[in-house]
Amino acid sequence: MINAVIAAVGVMLILSLSRVHVVIALIVGALVGGLTGGLGIDATLKAFNSGLGGGATVALSYALLGAFAVAIAKSGMAHALADKALAMVDRQHASGGGQVKWLLIGLLWVVAIASQNILPIHIAFIPLLVPPLLYVLTKLQLDRRLIACVMTFGLITPYMFLPVGFGNIFLNEILLANVARSGVDISGINVTHAMGIPALGMVFGLAMAFVSYRRKRVYDLSRIEQVEQVAVQYNPLSLMVAGLAIAAAFVIQLLLDSMIIGALAGFLIFSVSGIVKWRDTDDLFTEGMKMMAMIGFIMIAASGFGEVIKATGDVQSLVEASAAWIGHSKAIGALLMLLVGLLVTMGIGSSFSTVPILAVIFVPLCVQLGFSPLAIVSIVGTAGALGDAGSPASDSTLGPTSGLNIDGQHHHIWDTVVPTFLHYNLPLLAFGWVAAMVL
C-alpha cells in the first residue's frame, strides 16, 4: 500500500503544477493522504480542522501587513522611490540602468539575509519593501523569478548556516539538540562547519538563477499603477510619516515578537497623522486584507494539511521504511535520507518541524552506517532544510509571492515554487550528499 505522505504530497504537487489553486490542492491532498493512511473521512477532517488554527496567527499577520502596505502606498512612498530610481536609470542610458538593477537586487538580498539574524523579522519585510519597488523593477524589465530566488536564498541560507537569530534556533536548539537526544556526542562539533558544504549548494543555486533569468521580461505597468498607486501625490511630511510607521512596526515586532501588533501600530500611525483619512481607513484596511488573503488562506490550509500528514503516522513509517531500504551502503543511505527529508518538508512546509521527526530514526541509522558525528549533523540538518524552497506551503515561497504578485502577474507555483525548487533543492541535494560522504 502506498505511503500516505507520498500520496498526499504527490497529489498536492500534481494539482498545484496543473494550476489548480494551492488551497484546493492542499485540501484534496490532505483528504487523499488521510484516506490512504487509514484515518477515514471523519478522522481526516477532524485532523485537518484541528490543524487550521496553526496557520491562523501568520495569516492574520499577513492580512494586517497587507493593510499596512496599502497605507504605505497611499503615502506616496512608492512614487517617491520610483521617481528616484527612474531618474537614476535615465542617467544611465548607456548601461540600461544596470547599476540601479544591481542596487535593487543587492538591497533585497541583504534585507532578506538580515531578516533572519540582524533584524529577525523573517518574511514581514516583504509586503512592506517589495511592492513599492515593483514599479521600478518592472520598468527595468527584471524577471521576477530571479527576485523570488534572491529573496528565498536570503530567507533560508542564513538559518541553515549561521547560528544567529533564527539560525540559533534551527542549528543549536533544534538540530544539535535532537542529534544529541538521539545518542550522538556533539561536544566539539562546529555546526557551521557541518552545514558549510550544503550552504555552498544554495550559493551555487543562486548563481544559476542569475544565469537562468538573465533575460529581460516584460510586465504590464498599468496593472501595477492600479494597485500600487504610483501616481499618488507625496510630500516630505507623508514620506516622513511613512518612514516613522515602518520603523515603529519593525521595532515593536522585535520587542513584542508580534507581526500583528507591529503592523497594527504602523497602520495607526498613518491614521493618527492624517496621511490616511479616518473615513477611508475601513476601505483601505479591507483592500489590504484582500491583497494578502490568498497567502493567508494557503498558510491556514497548509497547517491543516500538515496535521493530517502527522495524524496518519506514515511520516514515521516512511522514515523507518527508508532505513530498511538502505542496507549497509553509506552512499545510498545518505541519498535516501535526504530524499525523505525533501518529501516530508515539502508536505509540512517547515524545516523547523521536520528535524525532530527525522532525527529519531536517522541518527541511530547514521551511527550504524558509520557516519561521523559531523556528517550526521550535516545529513539531518540538510534533510530538514531540503524542501523549504520549492514547497507551495512554505513561508519561504509564500513570502516572495506576496510581494511580487500584488498586481496578479506573478504565479505562485510557476514563478516562485518551481524556480526555487530547481535552483535550490537540486543543488542542496547534491551538495548535502557530498557533505555526508566527505565529512
The pLDDT value given to residue 134: 85
44 within 8 A of 31, measured Cβ to Cβ: yes
Mind listing the pLDDT tens digit for each residue in 177-201?
Answer: 889 988 888 888 899 999 999 999 9
Mind listing the pLDDT tens digit for each residue in 285-327?
Answer: 787 777 677 777 887 888 888 888 888 888 778 877 777 777 7
Its pTM stands at 0.82
Phi, psi of 77 (to 5 degrees): -60, -35
The pLDDT value given to residue 281: 76
The pLDDT value given to residue 325: 78
Mind listing the pLDDT tens digit for each residue in 215-228?
Answer: 999 999 888 877 66
Counting Cβ atoms within 10 Å, is residue 216 exposed (0-12), middle (13-18) or buried (19+)? exposed
Of all residues in the chain, the percent with pLDDT exceeding 90 is: 27
Range scoring the smallest mean pLDDT among 2-16, 134-148, 196-210, 310-324: 310-324
Helices 144-161 and 98-114: crossing angle in degrees, nearest 10, is: 30
- List strand residue ranges (DSSP E) for 157-256, in order: none
The residue type of 253 is: Q
The pLDDT value given to residue 422: 95
Of all residues in the chain, the percent with pLDDT exceeding 70 is: 93
pLDDT of 258 higher than 80: no
Mind listing the pLDDT tens digit for each residue in 343-387?
Answer: 888 877 677 778 887 887 788 888 888 899 999 999 999 998 898
